[in-house]
Amino acid sequence: MRGNLARTFELTNTQLFRRAPLPRSYTDFLGRKLFLFLLTVQGLGAFALITLGVILKKSGVAKNVIRPRIRQEIARAGVALLPMFSFVALALGFLVIGQTVSVLAKVGAISYLGSTMVIVVVRELGPLLTAVLVLARVGTANVIELGTARALGEVEALEALGIDPVHYLIVPRVIGMVLGIFSLTVYLIIGALASGYLFAFLQDVPMTPGDYFKQITESLGWLDFALLALKTITFGFFIAVVTCYHGLAQPLRLEEVSRVAVRAVTQGVIVCVLIDALFIVLYLVA
Interface region with other proteins, contact rule CB under 8 A, candidates 4-12, 94-102, 105-113, 122-130: 4-12
Interface region with other proteins, contact rule CB under 8 A, candidates 146-154, 241-249, 264-272, 274-282: 146-154
CB 272, CB 239: distance < 8 Å: yes
Q: Which of 55, 90, 163, 207 binds other proteins (CB under 8 A)?
A: 163
- Tell the smallest beta-carbon distance from residue 131 to other proteins (Å): 25
Identity of the residue, 18 or 24, whose beta carbon is nearer to other proteins in the bound complex: 18
- Tell the smallest beta-carbon distance from residue 279 to other proteins (Å): 35
* Residue 64 lies near other proteins (rule: CB under 8 A): yes
* Residue 27 lies near other proteins (rule: CB under 8 A): no
Identity of the residue, 118 or 158, whose beta carbon is nearer to other proteins in the bound complex: 158
Q: What is the DSSP letter of 79?
A: G
Identity of the residue, 168 or 212, whose beta carbon is nearer to other proteins in the bound complex: 168
Q: Which helix (H) or strand (E) holds 259?
A: helix 257-285
How far apart CA 136 and CA 85 sit, in angstroms, is 13
* Residue 53 lies near other proteins (rule: CB under 8 A): no
Phi, psi of 22 (to 5 degrees): -65, 145
CB 141, CB 169: distance < 8 Å: no
125 φψ region: left (φ > 0), alpha (ψ -120 to 50), beta (else): alpha
How far apart CA 42 and CA 12 sit, in angstroms, is 9
How far apart CA 188 and CA 132 sit, in angstroms, is 13
CA distance readout (Å), 183 to 15, 45, 134, 152: 40, 26, 12, 34
* Residue 3 lies near other proteins (rule: CB under 8 A): yes
CA distance readout (Å), 68 to 62, 81, 170, 186: 11, 19, 14, 24
- Tell the smallest beta-carbon distance from residue 184 to other proteins (Å): 24
How far apart CA 260 and CA 240 sit, in angstroms, is 15
Q: For residue 81, which of 178, 187, 173 has the smallest C-alpha distance?
A: 187
* Residue 162 lies near other proteins (rule: CB under 8 A): yes
* Residue 145 lies near other proteins (rule: CB under 8 A): yes
How far apart CA 72 and CA 191 sit, in angstroms, is 25
Q: Which of 13, 164, 172, 242 binds other proteins (CB under 8 A)?
A: 164
Interface region with other proteins, contact rule CB under 8 A, candidates 40-48, 109-117, 161-169, 178-186: 161-169
* Residue 255 lies near other proteins (rule: CB under 8 A): no
Interface region with other proteins, contact rule CB under 8 A, candidates 27-35, 150-158, 201-209, 234-242: 150-158
Q: Which of 4, 208, 258, 266 binds other proteins (CB under 8 A)?
A: 4
* Residue 59 lies near other proteins (rule: CB under 8 A): no
Contact residues toward other proteins (CB under 8 A) are 1, 3-4, 7, 10-11, 15, 61-65, 145, 148-149, 152-154, 156-164, 168, 251
